[in-house]
Amino acid sequence: MGIKQKLLVAVMGMGLAFFGAASASAGTWQDNHPRRVEVNHRLAHQNFRINRDLREGRITVRQAAVLHRQDRMIRFRERRDAALNGGHITRFEQARLNHQENGVSRHIYRAAH
């Protein structure tokens, strides 16, 4: 391999590294998309409520496991929807996820009271 070819390979490698870093930073911005942040904040709060109720003896381990599973399914749907939409979720998807979160929230309340 000649000097010109080595230089070309080095320049191309640096270019790929630069563009890879640029696309990685674009993905980070999408993680902070307002709709995703709102959905994930609610999921975190519900997780806190489940753990608190379990710790205080208001729900059983089995009830907590069922509620955590429901939350995990919502988080899975949120991530899948975001992956299909370039890193964000649409208003319709956010409304659907919020509706599902409302249902889990009611289940948490009913299980604890």
Give me the pLDDT at residue 75, please.
96
Paired tokens of 36: 């995703």
96 and 58 in a common domain: yes
Give me the pLDDT at residue 3, please.
72
Give me the pLDDT at residue 29, please.
47
Alpha-carbon distances of 62 from 38, 49, 65, 109, rounded to whole Å = 28, 15, 5, 15
Give me the pLDDT at residue 76, please.
96
Give me the pLDDT at residue 92, please.
96
Q: Where are the alpha helices (DSSP H) in 32-60?
A: 34-55
Place of tokens 């753990």: 51
Domain that holds residue 80: 32-112
* Residue type at 99 in one-letter notation: H
Give the pLDDT confidence of 20-56 residue by residue, as tens digits: 554 554 555 466 889 999 999 999 999 999 999 999 9
The band of 90, judged by pLDDT with boundaries at 50, 70 and 90, is: very high
25 and 39 in a common domain: no
Give the pLDDT confidence of 5-19 residue by residue, as tens digits: 766 566 666 666 555
Alpha-carbon distances of 9 from 12, 14, 20, 35, 95, rounded to whole Å = 5, 9, 16, 42, 49
70 and 57 in a common domain: yes
95 and 58 in a common domain: yes
What's the structural domain count of the chain?
2
Question: For residues 109 and 104, what is the distance between their CA atoms, to the nearest angstrom?
Answer: 9
2 and 57 in a common domain: no
64 and 22 in a common domain: no
Q: What is the CB neighbour count within 10 angstroms for residue 67? A: 24
CB 48 within 8 A of CB 2: no
78 and 105 in a common domain: yes
